[in-house]
Amino acid sequence: MKIYLDNAATTPLAPEVKQAMLEVMENEYGNPSSIHAYGRQARTLVEKARKTVASLLNTAPANIFFTSGGTEADNMAIRCAVEAYQLTHAITSKTEHHAVLHTLEMLEQKGVLRLSYVDLDEKGNISFEHLEQLLANNPRSLVSLMQANNEIATLTDIERVGELCEKYDAIYHSDTVQTMGHYRHDLSTLKAHFVVCSAHKLHGPKGVGFIYVNPSVKIKPLLYGGAQERNMRGGTENIYGIAGLAKALELAYADLEKQAAYIQDLKSYAMERLKLAVPEINFNGETDADKSLYTVLNVRFPKMEMGDMLLFKLDIAGISASGGSACSSGSNIGSHVLTAIGGNPDHPSVRFSFSKYNTKEEIDYVVQKVKEVFME
């Protein structure tokens, strides 16, 4: 039996997305920058996809720029904002994705800016009091705080962050890779300057994403080249990927609440069954439905010999998941997220992440295999 529970890493391609991409591959091979008929057809396809994305997010098509994925989009937001506004201070958290953390750390190492980290509690929630203090003491900062943590699922109220940033004239970027297509985003009211998407997190193709740039900010490109993406991102557009991204987001929004309820039920069921099977189990991050990303469950297992073999044993049983433990004094790489919230390196953790294609029968199988590991 093969069970895929690593949807936070990447999701299976939806059949409808595959079909939409195949049609483009078969019929559209022009370069969107070419002025002849084939090029114009490809350009029409790209702009139609842009309008689809913009409409779903309630913003103007001119604010959406296609990229190679979330990492490029995060880099573009951070590096281009710092350059355009000569920013010398940034605020983030130690649980951000490395696409954000490593970019900011690089800028600090080069002496471009000074970096501050907002305080976190043991579940990964940011301290809004500390955030406001940092903003008050450092006017015109860059703030980069994700909406949902990709490892421990803790949600951050990005509307509240945006309001604070507006109050203190800060530039706000949110890594929304894990939430785009899983929650509704109204970019006409959200006080964020940049949000991002990676299509393969919502049953779309790998290697394509987008960045939303609020029209109130003016930045220069990260990648120079041709005049693509209205002179904001050089390079021939990935028309197959862009078509797949738009279709994936369209599908996600068409049935979002129903699928969210279904996946939340799977997560709650998994929590209940795992606790019954191994009572010593606990969970990392927030688990309340209104505070936690419904697609992700991070399970902290009891201390065990050869804890690093847990994932291997699950893989042998046909279960795909991801995991790790907190770093232990530099002796192992570990999870920077679990380390940041005070995780115990002696306790192995596994991240199970769900999609609409998973079932309770699969959860039952996983729980049985977990139980067998602890009965050995």
Q: What are the residue numbers of the active site?
A: 327
Q: Strands, DSSP E only, in 74-163? A: 89-92, 114-117, 142-144
Dihedral sign for Cα 220, 225, 231, 233, please.
Answer: negative
Cβ atoms of 121 and 93 closer than 8 Å: no
Query: Residue 321 phi/psi, 5° resolution?
Result: -145, -175
Cβ atoms of 370 and 25 closer than 8 Å: no
Under 8 Å CB-to-CB from 341, ≥6 apart: which residues? 95, 120, 121, 122, 123, 124, 152, 284, 285
DSSP state of 174: E
Phi-psi region of 169 (alpha: psi -120 to 50; beta: other; left: phi over 0): left
Q: Distance (Å, rounded) from C-alpha 360 to C-alpha 194?
A: 37
